[in-house]
Structure 1
Amino acid sequence: MPINPNTMACMDFLGIDFPGEFMNLASSNNNIITMAMSEDGSEFLQILLSSRDSRISNLIFTRVFELILELMTHQFGPYLFQKLVESVDENRLLMIMEKLTIPENHIYHASVHKYGSFSVKKLITALKRSPLISYVTNALSNKFEKLMTHPTGRYVIMECLNVLDSRTNDLLYVRAMEGCLELSRHKQGAVSMNACIARIKGPRRDQLLNMICDNVRFLAQDPTGNYVVQCVIGLGNPAIIDQIFNLLEELYVKLSMAKTESHLVEQCLQLSGMNWVISEFIGSDEFVMVVKDRYGNYVVQTALKESKKRDGTLHASPIVKLEEYMGCLQDGHGRNIVTLLKSLQQLIFEVVLLG
């Protein structure tokens, strides 16, 4: 077989004779692996693979194949792994995929590794139009919840959602729906679910959103699950938003007095849920508790500010209610509301005076 001119150029540039010196250098597995695990050696092998000479790619493949996972997870291995995946033919790609998935799920172990996750993401990009990508998505789906709750592994799932089409991602979409409630209650899992919600496409998106709506009362009362509800509200789908606000009826007072859940109520006040929240406040015997609560007083402040901007009639209702309790709002967090009411009254006075 004639030597590829690009390979010859690489060898000349590096001062190495081919095939003589390189074949001697690559005469054992250890020599190539040792090179691959060093910065200079890895760069050298990448240059050779860039020549697209099949003799080079086949030789390097043969030498590193048995230690492919070690290559993927080594500090200097991912870029060489990427070049190798881009250089070999479909048959060798199949061998790599079977090596990484049968019988051990090596893709999972690489995905939760600092350098290995980079290798897997490059593999996803390289195989995105190949039927072999199913090996990757199947392997990841089998460890979906563990990956979604792992600070490194979650980015591999996101790479699939970013790079692959909805048909290829369908198994991951199904896993997201199956693990939705459990993941939403996990600190890292909730972050991953929000990222997943933002990326999921097609009919599965509506199915996932409806599942969250069906369980919104449960999720809203969870310290991390409520962030997932906030994410869904933030998508701006009017039908979904109204459904959520309706389902949260009789929970607004309770949610307002919890650290993270209070943010959800403030979000509702800034959207079409304002009527629901304020109506519950003024009809509740616990309204004064909300006003004096360390978190609830901020929710009430938001209610007063938002209603003043958008609905004067609705704005008057909580003020009338608050006037009943002015005597007990002079200390603690209640003072924040008293201060706000005075500033609002002063503003109204100035507007009238200037008018």
Structure 2
Amino acid sequence: MSAMLQADFRKKTDYHTSKDGTPYNMEELTRALDEDSFDMLSTIGTRHSAVSNRGLVFPCNWWWNQDFLSSPQTRAQGPSSPSSSSSGSSSRLLSDLDLEDVQGQLFEFAMDQHGSRFLQQRISTADDLEKQMAFKELRPYLRELSTHVFGNYIVQKFLEYGTSEQLGVIVQSFRGRWNKLSLDLYGCRVVQKAAEVLPDIYKSVIVNELVGRMIECIMHQNGNHVVQRIITSVPQKLLNIIIKSLTGDMYMLSIHPFGCRVMQRLLENCSKEQMKVIFQEVLQHTESLLLNEYGNYVIQHVIEYGGGLDKSKVVAVLTGKICSLSQHKFASNVVEKSLTFGCDADKKTIIAEISHESALLKMMTNRYGNYVIQKAIDTAELRQKQALVLLIHPHLPLMRRYTYGKHIAYKVKSLLSRASLGQW
């Protein structure tokens, strides 16, 4: 082996140690590469590796970096010469391998970055016999794989492409552990995939197991993604279970950075009857929520997805305080949403309140209020739009002096130009 290749190999492997901290025998590894003997690498890997408690684990990623793996035929023939190795007779590209070629080493492949990618590709295209062989070998390690940085993708592939029998085995394997899995950085991805692709009968198993720990799950940085995916994937009869488990805690969830996301998903996906249950609790705290950095998003969803009566309840809270709320960082978003999705009567109420010169001047020069004015101009019916433009027009020179007024000045100037052509 050349000095350069030895140095490169040492650099790639000198940080690998055995379970008791003993470094790998570099002389053995170097000699193994000199002789091109992958049998010796296998022996060394089995003797020194602490990656798993079974089978063959190579002590370094060198073989992956070279994108080849010794074939069974090569092992049977024994060490080959460098010339035959370079010609490709002693190795095959991973792209040429099938699942049966790596049978007995699937767990090690699944725990490796490149091996996991290889298995994902093969499982998605394998026939039932190949999938059954792979599943049978990996079944004892489903729990371990599901929380591994690379292994979790293999479990996801079986959820997506597995047979009905295999899906049942996976669900049973995680019975009693769905909540713990939902809180894990990698396990939560497995639960999300399960919620997305499993038949409804299995989704109900997951929901019923999580329902007792739903609040904990929602308020967790990983678990909240699981609940969001469940809400967007399960039938509405299962949403009833989730909504019931959250009753009494919806205000607290609405002002939580993760909980507000779950509340938004609920409003996007639940039925009108289910919305009534949510609104009954949430709309008691409208004023507090619209001023909150997270709660304002929930109120915006009430306006966007709620019925006319629900929207009017929100606008009733805004009425009389439109000018001050429009200058608030969070509440101004709610005012804008009301102008976009509110009923015609509510829009007229809001625009009428800001169509006073004192209020208009404050809002036009405010970093948040100017957006409300722009939205009002865009959404007003013709007569109110004309009144607003004429009211703003005398103040255009002043608007151009303010950073936040320039946008309004440009919009009004454009409208006046069109109006001169009769194109309001």
TM-score > 0.5 by shorter chain: yes
Question: Which residue, out of 14, 23, 30, partners 2:100?
Answer: 14
Q: Is residue 299 from structure 1 mapped to residue 372 from structure 2 by the alignment? A: yes
Residue 96 (structure 1) aligns with: 173
CA contact (8 A) 1:107 1:140 kept: no
Question: Which residue, out of 269, 279, 302, partners 1:232?
Answer: 302
Report the CA distance between 1:70 and its aligned residue.
2.0
Q: Deviations over 1:293-336 (max 9, x none)?
A: 222133224334543xx14157427855x689899768436854
Report the CA distance between 1:198 and its aligned residue.
0.8
Report the CA distance between 1:218 and its aligned residue.
2.0
SS in 2 for 1:168: helix
Residue 203 (structure 1) aligns with: 273
Matches within 5 A, 1:182-331: 182-201=252-271, 203-235=273-305, 237-270=307-340, 271=342, 272=344, 273-282=346-355, 286-307=359-380, 310-312=381-383, 315-316=386-387, 319=390, 331=401
Report the CA distance between 1:134 and its aligned residue.
4.3
Q: Deviations over 1:104-129 (max 9, x none)?
A: x423333xx1x322321343356533
The change in CA–CA distance for 1:338 and 1:107 in structure 2 (over 3 A counts) is closer
Aligned-pair identity (%): 20
Q: Deviations over 1:260-300 (max 9, x none)?
A: 43232223234433212123224696553223322213322
Residue 5 (structure 1) aligns with: none
Q: Which moved more, 1:296-305 or 1:85-94?
A: 85-94
Matches within 5 A, 1:78-227: 78-82=152-156, 83=158, 86=163, 88=165, 95-100=172-177, 105-110=179-184, 113=185, 115-124=186-195, 127-130=198-201, 133-150=203-220, 152-201=222-271, 203-227=273-297
CA contact (8 A) 1:245 1:268 kept: yes
Tell me the distance in 1 between the aligned counterparts of 2:264 and 2:366: 29
Report the CA distance between 1:257 and its aligned residue.
0.4
Tell me the distance in 2 between the aligned counterparts of 1:330 and 1:60: 68
Report the CA distance between 1:227 and its aligned residue.
2.1
Task: Specify the code of the residue in structure 2 equivalent to 1:14.
Answer: E
CA contact (8 A) 1:149 1:192 kept: no
RMSD: 4.3
CA contact (8 A) 1:219 1:225 kept: yes
Task: Specify the code of the residue in structure 1 equivalent to 2:369.
Answer: G
Q: Which moved more, 1:85-94 or 1:261-270?
A: 85-94
Q: Is residue 51 from structure 1 mapped to residue 124 from structure 2 by the alignment? A: no
Task: Specify the code of the residue in structure 1 equivalent to 2:119.
Answer: E
Which blocks of at least 5 consecutive residues in structure 2 are unaligned?
1-97
Report the CA distance between 1:177 and its aligned residue.
4.7
- Larger gyration radius, structure 1 or structure 2: 2
Q: Deviations over 1:221-253 (max 9, x none)?
A: 223322222222222633322332223212311
Residue 75 (structure 1) aligns with: 149
CA contact (8 A) 1:256 1:262 kept: yes
SS in 2 for 1:294: coil
Report the CA distance between 1:156 and its aligned residue.
1.9
Which blocks of at least 5 consecutive residues in structure 1 are unaligned?
1-11, 17-21, 26-30
Tell me the distance in 2 between the aligned counterparts of 1:295 and 1:91: 53
Q: TM-score, normalised by structure 2?
A: 0.59
Report the CA distance between 1:146 and its aligned residue.
4.7
Report the CA distance between 1:72 and its aligned residue.
0.5
Residue 8 (structure 1) aligns with: none
Q: Deviations over 1:114-158 (max 9, x none)?
A: x3223213433565333x544421443344345445554333223
CA contact (8 A) 1:166 1:202 kept: no
Tell me the distance in 1 between the aligned counterparts of 2:383 and 2:128: 69
Task: Specify the code of the residue in structure 2 equivalent to 1:75.
Answer: V
CA contact (8 A) 2:195 2:229 kept: yes
Report the CA distance between 1:174 and its aligned residue.
2.6
SS in 1 for 2:175: helix
SS in 2 for 1:51: helix
Tell me the distance in 2 between the aligned counterparts of 1:159 and 1:338: 44
CA contact (8 A) 1:134 1:168 kept: yes
Q: Which has the higher contact order (CA 8 A, sep 6+)?
A: 1
Report the CA distance between 1:95 and its aligned residue.
4.8
Tell me the distance in 1 between the aligned counterparts of 2:291 and 2:110: 51
Task: Specify the code of the residue in structure 1 equivalent to 2:151.
Answer: G
Report the CA distance between 1:256 and its aligned residue.
0.8
